[in-house]
Amino acid sequence: MRFLPLFPELVRQLFREPATNRFPAKYLPPTVTGFLHDVAAGRARLTPPVPTPPEFRGKIAYARDSCIGCGLCTKICPSHAIELLPTKKIRIWIDQCIFCSQCTSICPKSSLTMSPEFLLADEDRYSEDLIVE
């Protein structure tokens, strides 16, 4: 039984870089939206997010032109996030999507793909960013 075996590790830890990536900024800005406006205007710098791994499952991308309206994706979607429109095209409600990528595997025309986009937080679940059609 040794006394305080963690102590040397803690001292070492003092001189190391923190493991956390400080996204979007080193210190939490007073308003995130205000900070993003500042970034867009070039007044502030955004700490880049951790890069996504290969084949990451992010927001669905839909190639409308190649879709044949077979409706297989609506049958396979576990969260009923895909709606078949009367125009034989689909509409995807991203706020309901669970990013399982099952629709992209069943699509016979490969019209659906997963993009690496993951910053999808929104105040309105029906906002334009969260509906793909």
Partner 1 sequence: MSDESKKAPYIVPIGPNHPALKEPVMFTFEMEGEVVREVDFAPGQAHRGIEWMGMRRNPVQIVHLTDRICGICGVSHTLAFARAVEQVAGIEVPERADYIRTIIAEFERIQSHLLWAGVAAHELGFDSLLHLTWKVREQSMDVIENLTGNRVNYGIVQVGGVRRDIVLEQHPIIDDCLGTYEGLLGKLLSLFLDDKTITMRCRDCGVLSKKEALELCTVGPTARASGVNVDLRQDYPYAAYGDLDVRAILPEQHMGETHGDVYDRIVVRLLEVGQSCQIIRQCLSEMPAGPVTAEEKLAKLLAICKKAQGEAIGRVEAPRGECFHYVRMDGKDAPHTWKVKASSYSNLMSWIPMLRGEQIADIPIIIASIDPCLSCTDRIAVISHGHRSVLAKEDLHRLSVEKTRRLQR
User: What is the contact mask toward partner 1 in residues 46 to 65, using x (rule: CB under 8 A)?
Assistant: -------xxxxx--------
Exposure class string for 103-131: b at 16+ Cβ within 10 A, else e: bbeebeeebbebeeeeeeeeeeeeeeebe
The stretch near partner 1 (CB under 8 A) out of 1-9, 33-41, 82-90, 121-129 is 1-9
Could you say which of 2, 14, 42, 123 contacts partner 1 (CB under 8 A)?
Answer: 2
The stretch near partner 1 (CB under 8 A) out of 25-33, 35-43, 60-68, 92-100 is 92-100
The stretch near partner 1 (CB under 8 A) out of 30-38, 61-69, 93-101, 121-129 is 93-101
Instruction: Select from 41, 49, 19, 69 the least CA-distant residue to 119.
Output: 49
Residues in contact with partner 1, counted by CB under 8 A, come to a total of: 28
Closer to partner 1 by CB, 13 or 127: give it.
Answer: 13
Peptide bond before 24: cis, by omega within 30 degrees of 0?
yes
